[in-house]
Amino acid sequence: MTKEELIQKAIEARTLSYSPYSHFAVGAALLCKDGSLYLGANVENSSYPLSMCAERNALYHALMEGKKKEDFEALAIVADSDQPCSPCGACRQVLSELFPANKPIYLANLNGDQKITHIHELLPFAFDKEDLGL
């Protein structure tokens, strides 16, 4: 699957967003090495902090199907933003734990603007299990 196809899947996932509070719909598509694909969209709640981001939903969706960090190939995140959609700090921390450092993360918007990045660029000097002495 190409970068453009993966971004298109994230655009499709975005249509499933439940975002009546922010009106900011986000879609994510997570590609695995075996070609399988896991989608996510943000799901908000009237108790705002309970809301869940698109990329974490995609990642957790994959984990619940038995996928592991080493199975992931690429991730796309899309919103209707001026710049390619930038993941929040919480998602960066989760991705640093569960998404491979050497695999691409495609950030995009609906205007066709794109940025290719990696988790070590999004979250340098991350807190991880080694900081816990593990």
Q: How far is the CB of 2 from ligand THU (least distance, A)?
A: 22
**All residues at 6 or more sequence positions from 78 whose CB lies less than 8 Å from its CB, including other chains:** 7, 10, 11, 14, 26, 27, 28, 85, 108, 109, 110
Cβ pair 69, 100 in contact under 8 A: yes
Point out the catalytic residue in the list 4, 55, 65, 70: 55
- Candidate residues 22, 36, 45, 83; the one interacting with ligand THU per rule CB under 6 A: 22
Which one of 66-74, 87-95, 98-106, 120-128 is the stretch in contact with ligand THU (CB under 6 A)? 87-95
Measured at the alpha carbon of residue 62, what is the angle toward residues 56 and 66, in degrees to the nearest 5? Answer: 140
Determine how β-strand 26-32 pairs with β-strand 37-41: antiparallel
Residue 85 binds ligand THU, judged by CB under 6 A:
yes
**Does 42 participate in binding ligand THU (rule CB under 6 A)?**
yes
Nearer to ligand THU among residue 88 and residue 101 (C-beta) = 88
DSSP secondary structure code for residue 47 in this structure: S
Residue range at the interface with ligand THU (CB under 6 A); choices 5-13, 20-28, 93-101, 117-125: 20-28
Residues 7 and 58: beta-carbon distance below 8 Å? no
Catalytic annotation present for 70: no
Binding region for ligand THU (CB under 6 A): 19, 22, 24, 26, 42, 44, 51, 53-55, 77, 85, 87-88, 91
Task: Provide the annotated active-site residues.
Answer: 55
